[in-house]
A = this chain, B = another copy of it.
Amino acid sequence: MCQLLGMNCNVPTDICFSFTGFQKRGGATDVHADGWGIAFFEGKGVRLFLDPQPSAQSPVAELVRNYPIRSLNVIAHIRKATQGIVSLENTHPFQRELWGQYWVFAHNGNLPQFQPELDGSFLPVGDTDSERIFCWLLQSLRSRFDDVPPAREALFDALHELTTPLAGMGIFNYLLSNGDSLFAHCSTELSYIVRHAPFATAHLKDEDVMVDFSEVTTPNDRVAVIATQPLTDNEPWITMPPGSLWLFHDGEVVAHRLTLPSPFKSLSGS
């Protein structure tokens, strides 16, 4: 299995502190040593750093840790390969373009039984089930909304409808962003914290590093951090209930809804 890290903010924020702890789990404090990646939205563009090496030893990860890239939406992933070989094309996050927006997706889990038909509009390059699911999600969104990107809430409704049938088929924790919002689905394990004024000091679990957020923020800043397991040991992380989809925008939770599997729902037409 893998680990996920996401960030959604109301002002461009760097993720150096959180990434420092997360990076350690890629082969140092934990076993997720089969590659890693991180995507930063900056304006409408995306910077995607991928490395099939363990993040704990990766020179690219060192760069990311020390080079503050300020972003409203970040998605990172460290991989413990369960499907697909260790290779660049199987390294998350995956990126595609839909409606003239970049979309980024990372997945923790397995959905071996889900073999959707792909119409060719988005095709996987590697051989993970994760990339296949991402292609199917984008294909489904495009066929549902045609050429018109929907409003945030309509997108959440659509993702809820698409995710719900899969939530009972396997482990399907994911982070998805189009640069505007960040969608998080907790299938088995995902937590989050929203940091806002008055800011306090945080201490990493995976390395003895501390930061006083009051020194590096303004009173209006709001930052949501989402992770498979809490990254700090002195903050009140919220554990998402298994089977729940969350919409983060401007650093706060805008919507959340259960995705309990329904045996009466089929995948046809989605």
Residue pair B88, A100 in contact (C-beta under 8 Å) = no
Q: How far is the CA of A50 from the CA of B47 in the complex (A)?
A: 6
The number of times this chain is found in the oligomer is 2
Residue pair B123, A43 in contact (C-beta under 8 Å) = no
Interfacial chain B residues near A42, Cβ < 8 Å: 52, 87-88
Main secondary structure of the interface of A (DSSP, over half): mixed
User: Per-residue 0/1 for A22-60: is the Cβ within 8 Å of any B Cβ (1 yes, 0 no)?
Assistant: 000000000000000000001111111111100000011
Q: Count how many chain A residues have C-beta atoms less than 8 Å from C-beta atoms of the other chain.
A: 35
Residue pair A125, B96 in contact (C-beta under 8 Å) = no
Q: Which residues 76-106 of A have a CB within 8 angstroms of B?
A: 87-91, 95-97, 99-102
Residue pair B43, A88 in contact (C-beta under 8 Å) = yes
Is A63 part of the binding interface, using a Cβ–Cβ cutoff of 8 Å? yes
Which of the residues B88, B97, B122 comes within 8 Å of A125, measured between beta carbons?
B97
Q: How far is the CA of A54 from the CA of B47 in the complex (A)?
A: 16
Residue in chain B with minimal CB distance to A146: B120
Residue pair B96, A97 in contact (C-beta under 8 Å) = yes
The 6 nearest A-B residue pairs measured at CB? A45-B88, A45-B89, A100-B123, A44-B89, A42-B88, A120-B147
Q: 13 new A-B pairs (CB below 8 Å) besides A42-B87, A96-B97?
A: A42-B52, A43-B87, A43-B88, A44-B87, A44-B89, A45-B90, A45-B91, A47-B88, A63-B63, A97-B122, A99-B120, A99-B123, A120-B147
